Amino acid sequence: MTSLATTSRETLPLGGLLALACAGFITILTEAMPAGLLPQMGTGLGVSPALVGQLVTVYALGSLLAAIPLTLLTRGWRRRPLLLLAIGGFALVNSVTALSSHYGLTLVARFFAGVFAGLLWALLAGYASRMVAPHLQGRAIAVAMLGAPLALSLGVPAGTWLGTVVGWRLSFAIMSGLTLVLLVWARWQLPDFAGLPAQQRLALRQVLTLPGIRPVLWVTFTYVLAHNILYTYIAPLLAPAGIAAQIDRILLVFGLAALLSIWLAGVWIDRWLRTLLLISCALFGLIALALALWITSPTVIYIAVACWGLAFGGLPALLQTALAKSAGASADAAQSMLVTVWNLGIAGGGLAGGVLLQNWGVTAFPWTVVLLMLLAVVKRP
């Protein structure tokens, strides 16, 4: 029995890992789909597109507020029932979204969608790492994280198209149906793990002081902040080169390069984790420098966006693997901090980018990113 268990941990359990990836895919799709269906949802709910946009904001707020406390509260729970509860929550809230004709009820459903997302993202990396031997943990996490970039590069455009063809309500209903299928698949493919015994549960402050945790969180915040300054305001960033109308092509280039980055990270992550993180930060800094110097060149922008996708695509897997290896048994608590810091970086990027755009224009974006990448590499806690 022990021999069989050891052997199973020496290979990647692709069925289970892909179930985790699909959970991430549905999470991102649930978060982002209202952004592509603003007019339709506004008409259906009788509110302005600006208020529909708040459905994305309140989702992020739910994740930000819930990730750490929910993860700490459920550390003693068995892992598979907890993960299935988080996945099942998406079937529930997307069903409410599909059926609701009241904006207030839809807003509440979206908030709880964010709550379930915060819990799920805190669980994924630790779950994947426990399914394999230590030398395969990075690769397992990379596969489990595949759903997020796939959702951003392919799922969101496909969801927007589907919403235009069949209506936004049916689109959310279809997602609920797919989530129920995923529940059955995850129950079948995923092993169960015990929760963390009470005597092994570290306080949040103790987890934060474990070696390696604060540097990873610092890199997470500075990198995601820098990324979202550019990504949130990608349209005005393209204007000096006269290619703002080509934003769909630009985002496609970014998405395809990000997928390649995930594959490369999956190949090398278990041998060159620290090196890959440093290369990602350095490459992003050089990309920003190129944009600062040649922001009016369409060719430079296309090349920079491709390299940006290469730098960023594998980053979530790199950061989560580094955190899981540093935190050990407290990986889920550490991952909940990463979820919170990541969402702070997203919110901060949108805010900082707006201030920069209003006061100094898009030319300030790349120089700010250069500075943040220097801080990420040099000034770590």
Around Cβ 46, how many Cβ atoms within 10 Å?
10
The H-assigned helical ranges of the chain are: 2-9, 14-36, 38-45, 49-73, 79-99, 103-130, 137-144, 147-150, 156-166, 168-189, 204-208, 213-232, 234-238, 247-268, 273-293, 298-313, 315-327, 331-359, 364-378
Q: What is the CATH number of the domain that holds 213?
A: 1.20.1250.20
End position of a domain, from candidates 199, 222, 241: 199
- For residues 92 and 263, the model is more confident at 92
Q: Please, which contacts does 38-47 make with residues 24 or more away whose CB atoms are closer than 8 Å?
A: 40/163, 40/164, 40/167, 40/168, 41/168, 44/101, 44/168, 44/169, 45/100, 45/101, 45/102, 45/103, 45/106, 46/103, 47/103
In terms of domains, do 19 and 40 share one? yes
Q: What are 296's two structure tokens?
A: 């009016």
Domain that holds residue 341: 204-378
Q: How many domains would you assign to the chain?
A: 2
The H-assigned helical ranges of 233-330 are: 234-238, 247-268, 273-293, 298-313, 315-327
In terms of domains, do 187 and 73 share one? yes
In terms of domains, do 99 and 164 share one? yes
In terms of domains, do 191 and 255 share one? no
Percent pLDDT > 90 in the chain is 40
End position of a domain, from candidates 199, 214, 241: 199
pLDDT tier for residue 304 given thresholds of 50, 70 and 90: very high
- Mean pLDDT in the chain? 86
Which pLDDT tens digit goes with each residue over 127-176? Answer: 998 899 888 888 888 888 888 777 776 776 777 778 778 888 998 999 99
Range with lowest mean pLDDT among 91-100, 148-157, 163-172, 182-191: 148-157
Counting beta carbons within 10 angstroms of the beta carbon of residue 155, is it exposed (0 to 12), middle (13 to 18) or buried (19 or more)? Answer: buried
Which pLDDT tens digit goes with each residue over 240-280? Answer: 999 888 877 887 888 889 888 988 888 888 888 899 999 99
CB 141, CB 329: distance < 8 Å: no
pLDDT tier for residue 381 given thresholds of 50, 70 and 90: low
In terms of domains, do 193 and 134 share one? yes
Signed CA dihedral, 330, 332, 337, 342: sign only: positive
Least Cα distance to 373 among 277, 282, 305 occurs for: 282
In terms of domains, do 156 and 296 share one? no
End position of a domain, from candidates 136, 171, 199: 199
In terms of domains, do 37 and 153 share one? yes
The residue whose two tokens read 């790199």 is 318
Least Cα distance to 196 among 370, 78, 54 occurs for: 78
